């Protein structure tokens, strides 16, 4: 098993555990690869010898690894997921962030978890993704998403109007700050903050969640995973933004039709046998916690 190591190099909490992991892997004679940005940071901080970093450095950990250890929060995990793309390399999220719905383990559990992986004591959980296409020559920053696509206004205080069809049938004209099209994975991200429901990862569904809708009767709706969603902004609007997992494309052409459907590929997460999604919810959202004086 080759372990790819990547992470959020803007977090100082990254460096000590990664340096410890490199030393531990070398002692165990376990193969690994270092993302070039991580290797550069280790060298700059004199935490790992340059020759070791040069030996194991790569600009594409997904191509050189069997499992990627992604140190950071959910944003870092999403970046690792997009680096993997359609290749299917499993990702183990190592939480050094705050909330960490996508992280499989905490930073102090890395060595123990690798020992368990070496023994085959783990499983792979596949998460659905969405893909988007435009009737336009505008290149999208990202054309697929693990969490969500978001259509929202750009640099204007005005609300945005979004005409939505599902499987060719008109659903609604959303008059709001924007619209979120989320996966079950993304149900605990922006969609949850905007009032959307939480879906367990195994649900074959997607969520339409309006952002601050003008009408109180407009509510989030859960659609089958087979749905084809078409969204269009009328011609009288200013520029707006289409974001895929936080990566934004500004659209200025009039009446562009956006089509979103389930993508063909999944993102694979490394899980331990005892890990359950409900445990994650209880821990991260503090469900069942009794507040005492």
Name the least confident of 164-168, 183-187, 210-214, 252-256.
Answer: 252-256
| pLDDT tens by residue, 186-232 | 999 999 999 999 999 999 999 999 999 998 899 999 999 999 999 99
Query: In the prediction, which pLDDT does 291 show?
Result: 65
Query: What pLDDT is recorded for position 293?
Result: 60
Residues of the chain within CATH 2.60.200.30 domain(s) are: 129-264
Rounded to the nearest angstrom, the gap between the alpha carbon of residue 144 and the centroid of all alpha carbons in its chain is: 11
**Per-residue pLDDT tens digits for 68-111:** 999 999 999 999 999 999 999 999 999 997 767 898 899 999 99
* Active site members: 74
C-alpha–C-alpha distance, residues 241 and 248, integer Å: 6
Q: What number of other Cβ atoms are within 10 A of residue 215's Cβ?
A: 12
Beta strand 229-232 pairing with 160-166: antiparallel
Token pair, residue 260, equals: 């979103």
Torsion angle of alpha carbons 242, 246, 249, 254, nearest 10°? 10
Whole-angstrom Cα distance, residue 180 to residue 196?
Answer: 9
pLDDT greater than 80 at residue 8: yes
Domain ranges in the chain with CATH number 3.40.50.10330: 3-122+272-284
What confidence tens digit (pLDDT) does each residue in 260-289 have? Answer: 999 999 999 999 998 888 888 888 888 877
- Please give the Cα distance from 65 to 83 (Å, whole number): 12
Q: Is the pTM of this model over 0.85?
A: yes
Instruction: Give the integer Cα–Cα distance in Å for 290 and 293.
Output: 10
Identify the DSSP state of 144.
E
For 3-122+272-284, CATH gives 3.40.50.10330
Higher pLDDT, 154 or 222: 222
CATH number 2.60.200.30 is the correct assignment for the domain at 129-264:
yes
Indicate the average pLDDT of the chain.
92
């Amino acid at each position: 098993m080759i372990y790819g190591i990547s992470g959020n190099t803007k977090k100082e909490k990254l460096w000590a555990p990664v340096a410890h992991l490199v030393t531990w892997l070398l002692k165990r004679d376990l193969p690994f690869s270092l993302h070039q940005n991580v290797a550069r940071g280790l060298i700059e901080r004199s935490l790992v010898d340059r020759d070791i970093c040069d030996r194991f450095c790569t600009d594409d950990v997904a191509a050189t690894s069997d499992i990627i250890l992604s140190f950071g929060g959910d944003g870092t995990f999403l970046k690792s997921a997009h680096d993997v793309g359609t290749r299917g390399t499993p990702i183990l999220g190592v939480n050094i962030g705050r909330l960490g719905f996508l992280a499989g383990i905490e930073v102090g559990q890395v060595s123990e978890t690798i020992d368990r992986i070496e023994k085959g004591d783990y499983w792979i959980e596949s998460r659905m993704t969405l893909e988007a296409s435009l009737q336009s020559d505008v290149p999208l920053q990202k054309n697929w998403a693990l969490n969500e696509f978001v259509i929202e206004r750009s640099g204007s205080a005005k609300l945005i109007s979004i005409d939505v069809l599902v499987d060719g049938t008109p659903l609604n004209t959303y008059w709001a700050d924007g619209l979120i099209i989320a996966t079950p994975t993304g149900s605990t991200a922006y969609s949850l903050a905007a009032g959307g429901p939480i879906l367990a990862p195994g649900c074959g569904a997607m969520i339409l969640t309006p952002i601050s809708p003008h009408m109180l009767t407009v509510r989030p709706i859960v659609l089958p995973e087979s749905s084809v969603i078409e969204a269009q902004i009328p011609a009288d609007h200013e520029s707006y933004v289409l974001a895929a997992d936080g990566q934004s494309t500004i659209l200025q052409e009039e009446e562009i039709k956006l089509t979103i459907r389930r993508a063909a590929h999944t993102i694979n997460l490394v899980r331990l046998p005892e890990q359950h999604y409900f445990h994650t919810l209880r821990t991260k959202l503090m469900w069942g916690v009794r507040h005492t004086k």
